[in-house]
Amino acid sequence: MQDTELQPALAAMLHQNKPGMRLVIGNKNYSSWSMRPWVLMKAFGIPFEEIRILLGQPATTNQIAEYSQAGRLPILLADHMTIWDSLAICEYLAEQFSILNLWPEDVAARAMARSICAEMHSGFAALRYDMPMNIRAELPGQGRSIGAQADIGRICEIWEDCLTRYGAHQYLFGAFSIADAYFAPVAMRFRTYAVSLAPALQAYADRVATHPAVVHWVREALAETEQLPGHDARST
């Protein structure tokens, strides 16, 4: 099953008899790591309470420390546990809600999906630094360092490979999955910085951007008024 934002009854049934989950996130305009599990949970109708902590404020560090000593967002509070890494959160959700198939069902596809999410999780540092997520901004052509350009090329290779082998030119593995939630912030970056993509890849990025869960996140990001000088300074 996928795209189950329209199936709240199923998600509620799966979640009953468990303490309510809380997802601690940063600003929606800037926090790409927070976006990933938030979009995933919304897309699959997994109920949670959102706790938003504003980044870059004097109290930010202490507020995050109230939930996790790791000092980073996002954080999932579930079943009296604290899970403080976006990929660990997604893996936990995949285990707890296995009926929803958050990962692809096919073994080979699932292995590849995990691999590209791990690569996204640990790599692409130049893209993240030189082209920080800033959904409200329009910054065509900016941030194109040599490293960022190389990262863009690698992401295009990943998308093309997945769409050709598994996606049937829909989502990366056919149905919306953790992999698409993981690359949703990249699609937002490509839109902000007007990255030129091959037609099939642009069509994929557009499908991600128009997914109801992503639209929901973007709408709330656009409504935010806070600014992060570090992000905006590099983006101007």
The residue among 33, 68, 100 that closes a domain is: 100
How far apart are alpha carbons 221 and 144 in whole angstroms? 24
| 200-211 residue pLDDT tens | 999 999 999 999
Q: Say if strands 75-78 and 49-52 run parallel, antiparallel, or are unpaired.
A: unpaired
| 89-145 residue pLDDT tens | 999 999 999 999 999 999 999 999 999 999 999 999 999 999 999 999 999 999 999
Q: Coil, helix or strand for 68?
A: coil
CATH number of residue 213's parent domain: 1.20.1050.10
For residue 211, what are its two tokens? Answer: 């997914």
Is 232 a domain residue? Answer: no
Please tell me whether residues 129 and 203 are part of one structural domain.
yes
Entry pTM: 0.90
Q: What Å distances lie between residue 77 and 20, 72, 90, 193, 215, CA to CA? A: 8, 14, 13, 34, 25
| Residue 200 belongs to domain spanning | 107-224
Provide the number of structural domains found in the chain.
Answer: 2
Is 236 a domain residue? Answer: no
Please tell me whether residues 75 and 123 are part of one structural domain.
no
The residue among 78, 100, 122 that closes a domain is: 100
Please tell me whether residues 95 and 178 are part of one structural domain.
no
Is 132 a domain residue? Answer: yes
Is 169 a domain residue? Answer: yes
Please tell me whether residues 182 and 134 are part of one structural domain.
yes
CATH number of residue 47's parent domain: 3.40.30.10
